[in-house]
Amino acid sequence: MSQKIIINDVTLRDGMHAIRHQYSREQIAELTRLIDSSGSDIIEATHGDGLGGSSIQYGFSKEDEETIIKTAVENADHAKIAVLLLPGIGVIEDLERAHGFGAQVARVATHCTEADVSEQHIGKAAALGMDTVGFLMMSHRTTPENLLEEAKKMEAYGAQTIYVVDSAGALTMDDTRARIALFKEHLSDSTTIGFHGHNNLSLGVANSIAAIETGAQRIDASLAGMGAGAGNTATEQLAAVMNRMGIEHNLDLYKTMDAAENVMKPMMERPVQIDRLSLTLGYTGVYSSFLLFAERAGKEYGVDARDILTRIAEMGAVGGQEDWIIGVAQDLAQEKKVHS
């Protein structure tokens, strides 16, 4: 823990999920300035599903991609601006445009067992001279050993940082340690290890600290935990714990507290908190961005959204399969009718 922890703020990307991707240009500018002045090292700014995500499938963002990225770039004095790309949702041309808009960090995300689809995108980001990150989503859905093999692929493609990503907030501290420890032991000494946590089981900060103690050097967080499901690791909470533990970082605790309390929380349309639906996400291991889709479908079809999420988990859904939710809700409604 002697090395200073790099904080990657995801308020303007993962936080997009919690506000239905409706941040305005003015809100993006204000949040970027606050996050930057609070000491975060990297600020990620795209649609919640990354470059190319604004669509009927995932929800249209209020502002276009160029506006989101350029506004973040223009309002950050110190932090690097990052973009997320999920191959198949975003394409290489999207990455090139984002780089042209001023993005310096590229995070290429795949399902935890599908790193092979990222080769061209990681290679292009590295060729562009971007800080290139491999982002292994839903990391609870495979063994630590298999996750390491996928990480090695991303490393070979040119990723300088590899993340264990707890997209469902389903990992325990032991689960987190097991994955980070293998990365630390078997990846190159020059490869940085990152961790992205969600708070669906109330373990966002705990897992982030476990990751740091085991060798992670880059940690994701967001103001007031703003993000999908029960939200991400909250920046202000993480800063307080790191201060208590003597972990070195660049965050200003009071500034993160004030930004979370005075600006972020009033922007929330739905409180980012652990409730019965977000807890179900973590318990069943369902992708955190499914929460609002399941909540809406449950109301529309008169079924319990927890049953939708449980069925989705049984089907093995991964990120990008939100369209399954309507079909599941219809099936549950029909079953309810038959048994009534």
140 is catalytic: no
What lies within 8 Å, CB to CB, of 296 at 6+ separation is none
CB 205 within 8 A of CB 241: yes
H or E stretch covering 135: strand 131-137
Fill in the DSSP letter of residue 40.
-
CA 279 to chain centre: 17
SS3 161: strand
Q: Residues 17, 111, 140, 198: which is the catalytic one?
A: 17
Fill in the DSSP letter of residue 263.
I
**Paired tokens of 38:** 């609070």
Buried b (16+ CB within 10 A) or exposed e, 200-235: bbebbbbbbbbbbebbbbbbbbbbbbbbbbbbbbbb
Q: Which amino acid is located at 108 in the chain?
A: V
Q: Which of 173, 189, 245 is nearest to 2 (CA)?
A: 245
The whole-angstrom separation of Cα 236 and Cα 255 is 8
Q: Would you say how long the chain is, in residues?
A: 340
**Paired tokens of 55:** 């669509």
Residue with tokens 């069925």: 311
**Catalytic residue numbers?**
17
